[in-house]
Chain A
Amino acid sequence: MQEESLQKSDQLQRRKAYFARGLVRSAETVLAGLEESPDLPQGMHYFINIMRDAFVKDQGEDFSNPFCRQGANNRKVIGTYCLMVPEELIYAAGAIPVRLCGGSYEASCIGDELVPRDTCQVVKASLGFSSLNLISLYRKCDAVIIPTTCDAKRKMGEELSRFTEVWMLEVPHVKESEGSRRQWLEQLYVLKKNIEKLTGKRFRSGKIRRKALDAAIKMVGRAQYEARRLYEIRKSSLPVILGSEAMLAINAYSYNAASGWTGEMAKLNDELEDRRAKGLSVYSEHVPRILLAGSPPDLSQLENSLSRRRDGRCDRG
């Protein structure tokens, strides 16, 4: 009996190691592929390194990413599962938000065993990561917030609560009604309480204060402004950056402090505007573009859109 369970845990260990190797290999392939691109803007290196910290260098012991590593120093890390989660509240409480949402083909294979076949890849990968407990991003989260944006995510909360603390955030699906606005507001008040409870060890210290919230809103607003600028630049008929690169830069926001990301994004945007002014483009104006929309952009999808012939333009979230 003991022998059998030992054998099982040994199997699990081996499987974990196999998975970790696969993850690192595929992530590194994508990132190295991007770095080899001759047209890579200088500003991109920062974002590639952020992704490398999160998926390649990370071995589950500790965050290799300095932003997330703050989590180890008595600051709480809160995982979010989509753009709908108000990160401002998390920042204002002094916690660190990281956006999870899968991000690996290998992880989705693991998740395949936990959920029905027709579940979406994001859910499979998220469950895969959480169940394997390998990457710090998923391991170190003190709580995760899941907005009920789609059917799969609604069901994911229950499965995920076996591994970590889950707060569901019910997103109203109709914008126009007064009821849904009220409901959303109520949700945010509950979320605020939850965050305060998690961060506030001592009385008042973890409370979300007006000034802190104001500063957080401005910080996230600045990040949104820069992201918007990138999309404005990409709207021009001259493609100055590859779709996969832009996707990676946007996606790096999930694993980085909003303030740091904004600074680097501003530099990248300046560089791209400079390119546009000089008429430099990554390929000809007449190459057809394909719009990728809907699912969150991640490394596994980057792989698909890496082909030099394609230009994936993908929305965040």
Chain B
Amino acid sequence: MTVTKLRWTILIISFLVLILGGWIGINLGGFLPTYACPYVGGSRGGICFLFRLQFLLGNGSLEAFIGLGKHILYFSLLVIIIGRAWCGWICPLGFVQDLLDLIRRKLHMGYIRFPEWLRDGLRCVKWIFFFIALLIPLWVAYPLFAPAVASDLRQPHCQLCPGNYILPLLVGDINGVTVNFKSVTTIVMSMLGLIFSVTLIVGAFLKRRFWCLYCPMGLLLSWYRKISFIKLKKDCQKCTMCEACYNACPVEIEQVFKERENEDVTFSDCTLCLRCIEYCPEDGALQATFLGKPIYKSANKGFFERQHIIT
């Protein structure tokens, strides 16, 4: 079984558990570092950390902040264990994007690659989302000005998040996929959310893992990469700079092939999908380690086998 197949299997299973698991009584808690959208309704198998973060910040009471500390602790533990593999292997929205990517490949279409300047320019988007999720709930909790607007801004990131619109749609709930006409604020927010959802669907069809570069959850997870148990390592002596890893990378991290000095190549955008290792033609040039022990190494044999050059 190749790593890609294993990843697909886990993606499908976790999608089913997180989106439909509620029907058979699965509840994994409210601190999941992945887009387990609570708006899916009763069938949800867990709740996204960002939802609870906004909820507790927006509450503003002392108990809520204490609860938040506990929440962040559980969240941190989950992230430290497998790092951003949550994005590459578990995230339901990542699964939707991979599915669209699969359809594109079956149609023999190419994909778009953004030039580096555009990538750099869009790097601020996830920070904007992050601050929306962090600061607006505080305004909601302590509405010092414009309280009428603030009251309509509960869960501000959720109102913008494409997962809020796409994931319920996948379980047949079309009620959420409308503009909320309650007030001007909700109209603007739900319009933006719908625009982002359409952007994600079109984008993911044309570009691999389109939304992952703008996801604030990914930003949160990337802060743990230095202490996370799972790491991507490179033996720079063995690398021939063939760029196979760069071309295989769904989030198009250039540094992974450019790196010539440091062993650690777990970059902040890396979703640990391990495709780079699978596609690397050099024995042991790239490897994934868990607590320092190698769990998956690149191999020349695997490279040729994957291309059906040898069987």
Contacts and interface: CB of A to CB of B under 8 A. Distances in A.
Interface string A215-231: 00110011001001000
B116 A210 contact: no
B217 to A, nearest CB: 28
Contacts of A210: 108
Classify the interface of chain B: helix, strand, loop or mixed. loop
Nearest to A222: B309
Interface string B271-311: 00000000000000000000000000000100010011110
A225 B309 contact: yes
Contacts of B135: none
B307 A218 contact: yes
Given A210-B108, A225-B304, A228-B300, A176 B258 contact: yes
A221 B115 contact: no
B241 interface: yes
Q: Interface on chain A toward B: helix, strand, loop, or mixed SS?
A: helix
A61 interface: no
B209 to A, nearest CB: 19
Indicate the size class of the contact surface on chain B. 10 to 19
A218 B308 CA distance: 8
Interface in B79-100: none
Interface in A106-147: none
A176 B258 CA distance: 6
B108 A221 contact: no
B9 to A, nearest CB: 27
A176 B243 CA distance: 9
A151 interface: no
A36 interface: no
Interface in A95-114: none
B307 A178 contact: no
B309 A175 contact: no
Given A218-B308, A221-B304, A222-B309, A175 B241 contact: yes
Nearest to A181: B243
B108, B115, B309, B310: residue with the most chain A Cβ atoms closer than 10 Å:
B309
Contacts of B258: 176
A210 B310 CA distance: 21
Counting chain B CB atoms within 10 Å of each CB, which of A178, A217, A218, A228 scores highest?
A178
Contacts of B307: 217-218, 221
A218 B311 CA distance: 13
A156 B279 CA distance: 37
Contacts of A175: 241, 243
B310 A225 contact: yes
Given A175-B241, A210-B108, A225-B304, A218 B116 contact: no
Nearest to A175: B241
Contacts of A228: 300
Nearest to B246: A181
Contacts of A225: 304, 309-310
A175 B112 CA distance: 21
Contacts of A176: 241, 258
A86 B168 CA distance: 48
A178 B116 contact: yes
Interface string A174-188: 011010010000000
Nearest to B283: A232
A228 B243 CA distance: 19
A98 to B, nearest CB: 23
A228 B309 CA distance: 13
Interface in B221-258: 241, 243, 254, 258
B115 A178 contact: yes
A181 B116 CA distance: 12
A222 B308 CA distance: 9
Contacts of A178: 115-116, 254
Contacts of B308: 218
Interface in A221-252: 221-222, 225, 228
Nearest to B307: A221
A218 B241 contact: no
Interface of A: 175-176, 178, 181, 210, 217-218, 221-222, 225, 228
22 contacts: A175-B241, A175-B243, A176-B241, A176-B258, A178-B115, A178-B116, A178-B254, A181-B243, A210-B108, A217-B307, A218-B307, A218-B308, A218-B309, A221-B304, A221-B307, A221-B309, A222-B309, A222-B310, A225-B304, A225-B309, A225-B310, A228-B300
Ranked nearest first, the 8 interchain pairs of A and B with the lowest CB-CB distance are A221-B309, A222-B309, A225-B304, A178-B116, A225-B309, A176-B258, A175-B241, A221-B307
Given A176-B241, A228-B300, 20 more contacts: A175-B241, A175-B243, A176-B258, A178-B115, A178-B116, A178-B254, A181-B243, A210-B108, A217-B307, A218-B307, A218-B308, A218-B309, A221-B304, A221-B307, A221-B309, A222-B309, A222-B310, A225-B304, A225-B309, A225-B310
